[in-house]
Chain A
């Protein structure tokens, strides 16, 4: 790897990090799984890398009431293997386990992934289904935005200059809920050609609550509220699911590249949505 020359800073507090990041040519380094490859190709050439690994308070996973709080610097591997996450928010653990490969999961972080906002990233499908929120800090204070507001577009987030993702919050999964994340893997990169996350709560044999998140289909991940509405109140059998997912990509400007045409992605979105919902329904008690 022969990137352009850069300085490397390891702040030991958020304040120090903010000060370093006030330089417009500085760039945050979290797990480096997207930034470093771009620097290798010189598509990115920051003058200073501000490595957040030494900043206290950005790691750790903790339960606060009915909310699971995940620090921005928590790695995919930590999420995938954490007994707490697996128990209280299994969808997040499942999404993390589907990312890239072991090396990527050992280095990559949830905060870094979100701030990068790759349209084929795995987390957004689950975070939409979980109606997650993202805590953002800046020298002037903090704010919390919903995942829907945070992910603005392809590689574009609600982060303003000088702001950092510090935490992702998801609700503790409802008792008896069934969840699943199903993904069509791009065989070279390991990213999602299409990935669909489903959360299902049943009551008296009917779907009482459905949340569906979709990634990879278009320039930005989204929550498929139309599908959710069609599922709720049904028994969740094959025909219900087929009807519900039929319009999952309606009005969506599907991505079209060498790995999948727009039409195939639209089709895969229906297939993988159905698979995720079937799995979630079968897991729901």
Chain B
């Protein structure tokens, strides 16, 4: 048995890289710094080691040839999931270009709420180390932060030392919308986060009032969606008084219509505060299932985020039309490719189309795909790169064991060559 330290995780999105993992043959055990997200993701056993065509075990070559055959016969393939590392995503892009496919990251419908705001007005954002060292006021909008990333507070808010705060336990944390599911946001000094609760669907109204208060507009009402305006007034004043306030949200948690307008309201409020003689930054939460990786790689190879179509011979971006689920529902695709190297529970959407699955070993299907190729998990079975939620830092993933499973990139590149 060997023990590997300083292991980075591609699963939690916040790029923790201090895990200690015991490796015994193919079995992994997280022996230090695990969490409810990372530990099961690392420890999941390998079950499938063989590719299948029509449910029968075949060699990788045969599976690749069959996948290429299906793609060649297709007029509009769609590559969904797109949950893999940088090289895997490069492979997806090459296949998509040659096969004229749609590339659609599985989290894009959530990420779209951010992209629409970004592409309309932009934003001012920050990254984890700035939060760790500078943030004196954290406003959490519409998300259970510790549910999203169990170690966020431990690593980035209640860190013992920071360069610019004398006492990190004095940081203020305020929740707007959802209440936290546990006590991680309670400071080491025992101060509980302030919670201004409202329904998700009320966030547009609440955020609009908060921005108005930040801009010193008069609000006549006493309360908005159950929150006292005086409480929101206090938040507005604290944001303006903070030296380095941070407003965080998770696009994936904003399940209501036109949530992009709430992202925009929030981002514009952050910009406003930066004209009021102090600093403030936004901080979008994401980075799971390779979503930042998919958008970054698709970004530099096609110039668009990861919902793009290549069937015209050049990339076309449409954040609504090229949604895998919409295309399947509307009969606009004729082959489904599902790439999911991180999470075997994330199965392809139900479909009668010929289906090719390139996924983490152990995926259980209600309907056996035409082609299934189990691949190694980036950061476990092979080296690679994955983007953290803050979109700046690409972490270097380690190889922890010799499973013999091919990488997503190897499989996709083989399919591309066979096309």
A, B co-complexed: no
Give the interface of A toward B (CB within 8 A).
Answer: none
Give the interface of B toward A (CB within 8 A).
Answer: none
